[in-house]
Structure 1
């Protein structure tokens, strides 16, 4: 008979996949286990201002000036995952409902979206997961999905990764954003080294790519990132990300593009967040993120302050107020967002 038990903490693999949630494990044999996890989440959000390219759940750093005053209630961040372990081999797959589709007329039927699908054997990982350029521990504990995505390394894609101790190197899927992606014959190369200890962690990452312009030119692009999570007083922590060079689509989602016309875009991004525990079950985070670009001359900013209350290990509620700002377009939007989350 299967020996079923509830895991109180996520495994290191689930944390790596960005699914830092508990789960249910079924032990099939001495070498075989299967784990199911995820969470159910509702977001209620009100946005008011003149940045109109804001999704129902989060801002991705785009501008597009236009008045917006909108309320939305959505459960599309809800996700489910499963992990199968057989000795040294691990398979992991995760979906959420941010895949679009559906509306209030047709039952709001949102499409599933693939987040992670990879195989790990000893030091080798193949499949889709967080880019090696990303330090998931430096992402903000926010109500708005991911916090200031306009200034964060936040990308998942297909890759082949090798890990040796604290060092990782990977060949990852290429994409010439705003260029000719049909000519992307060379994979992106990413390397990262992570320093860690009881004090937290700091990662230093480098990125090398070949970008292909619409005009038929091939351009080299190099970027860097320094990010981490530093434990401070008690359970409090400081999270930060600093990126520069030609990071393009790796940072800020669409706050910076890979190419502007025939030129490689150079950008600078930084994000800082402080999380404070008022008690064992009440916590807050204040954060700020900014990305500026050289060629397009954009300046995108996002700040927010939130409060979370955990009623059980599985159930929590949160509220956040904040502001998105597009300096180059003289536009901004305020928002307030409430969330209810139940970890499976």
Structure 2
């Protein structure tokens, strides 16, 4: 190796090291630069991701609020209206009570018949043909308007219930306030005035007339009665009643018994019996009677009712009868005797409309001693009958409207002196409008 080569090697060695170091520094700086750029880019992406998450969160919150509002609004629409609970009314003594009643307007157009200016039935006293008839007459009244009060209270371990109900059908012209029901129930006992235990209205076909039609009874008597339940389907009711018979001097109450039985959900019967002393001055006779009523739901919405009575010597329980007892010339008493029946079919066409067709008949024994003892034989009847048809329409629950056609006749024991007629006719149209509260 010559001097020139040695010199060259000495010169090139450090240069190579410097070059190598320079290259490493450059590479190192380049790596740092690349790493810094990568870190910056990553930070940007993270920041962008954070912003996206924030935006998504806001969107979710907005959607939640909107959904809640929608659900709330939908719930408000679908939520049923709150039911107003009836406040509990109490008397000063702490008894709970409920007030009820109705406003009732009755109208009657008498096509033919009647001798009295009344809007209600009095088939037993209609004028004989050609004798003071008041035909083509319109009558109206609100006397059947009612006001009632049901109450109950607790006495020891027994609940006491009661009722007070009045209307304006009192007096001879049916225009005075009167008591319909006023009684107290304590256990199986009842004390007060309500429907007679003998002449119950449960089995009469429906009619518009507030006083019922032939064969029916709407008698309410002061009474004390007791109910014995033999089973859920059978009970016996016995009562001591004051029939308020003004034709006799009463010293004892009438005794009555009623056996009720339900054969099935759609078939009920009631067998009844009555006995009562009839006393005029010092003379007395025993009056008695039996009755049988039935109610049968033929099919849902179709109901058949029938009621039968056989009575001797009484005119205070069943409506439209002759006088139960009359006094003969020698002072002894003679009694009337009759049979009556009423039957009818009611059809419920829909929840707002129903209708009834009915027929009633009453016939009296022709006891000549009884007939001879009468002061006016034209005012006592041999036979009575009535037929009727009606419809009731209730557009809303508290309102009810009814229309009824009635035709009937009576045959007296003796003819009228004017023209010899023994028959009186009842031909009329009844209408009613009722608001219940």
Q: Same fold (TM over 0.5)?
A: yes
Conservation of the 8 A alpha-carbon contact between 1:81 and 1:92:
yes
Q: Which residue of 1 aligns with 2:115?
A: 52
- Give 1:168's match in structure 2, choosing from 229, 237, 240: 237
Confirm whether residue 218 of structure 1 aligns to residue 284 of structure 2.
yes
**1:67-82 alignment to 2 at 5 Å?**
67-69=133-135, 70-82=137-149
Q: Which has the higher helix share?
A: 2
Distance (whole Å) between structure 2 residues aligned to residue 34 and residue 78 of structure 1: 20
Give, in angstroms, the shift of residue 134 of structure 1: 2.9
Q: Which structure has the larger Rg over C-alpha atoms?
A: 2
Conservation of the 8 A alpha-carbon contact between 2:127 and 2:133:
no
- Report how many aligned residue pairs link the two structures: 313
- Give 1:266's match in structure 2, choosing from 314, 331, 337: 337
- Give 2:202's match in structure 1, choosing from 134, 137, 142: 137
Distance (whole Å) between structure 1 residues aligned to residue 227 and residue 84 of structure 2: 31
Q: Which residue of 2 aligns with 1:194?
A: 260
Give, in angstroms, the shift of residue 206 of structure 1: 0.3
Bigger CA drift: 163-172 or 41-50?
41-50
- Any gaps of 5 or more consecutive residues in structure 2? 1-82, 230-234, 328-332, 372-380, 413-421
Conservation of the 8 A alpha-carbon contact between 2:294 and 2:306:
yes
Q: Which residue of 1 aligns with 2:101?
A: 38
- Any gaps of 5 or more consecutive residues in structure 1? 7-23, 103-108
RMSD of the TM alignment (CA)?
Answer: 2.5
Q: Which residue of 1 aligns with 2:222?
A: 158
Structure 1-normalised TM-score? 0.83
Distance (whole Å) between structure 2 residues aligned to residue 170 and residue 247 of structure 1: 19
Structure with the bigger RCO (C-alpha within 8 Å, sep 6+) is 1
Q: Which has the higher strand share?
A: 1
Change (3 A) 1:4 1:205: farther
Distance (whole Å) between structure 2 residues aligned to residue 317 and residue 338 of structure 1: 8
Confirm whether residue 322 of structure 1 aligns to residue 389 of structure 2.
no
Q: Which residue of 2 aligns with 1:253?
A: 319
Bigger CA drift: 295-304 or 265-274?
295-304
Distance (whole Å) between structure 2 residues aligned to residue 4 and residue 211 of structure 1: 55
Confirm whether residue 127 of structure 1 aligns to residue 192 of structure 2.
yes
Give, in angstroms, the shift of residue 50 of structure 1: 3.0
Change (3 A) 1:78 1:200: farther
Bigger CA drift: 252-261 or 90-99?
252-261
Q: Secondary structure at the match of 1:151?
A: coil
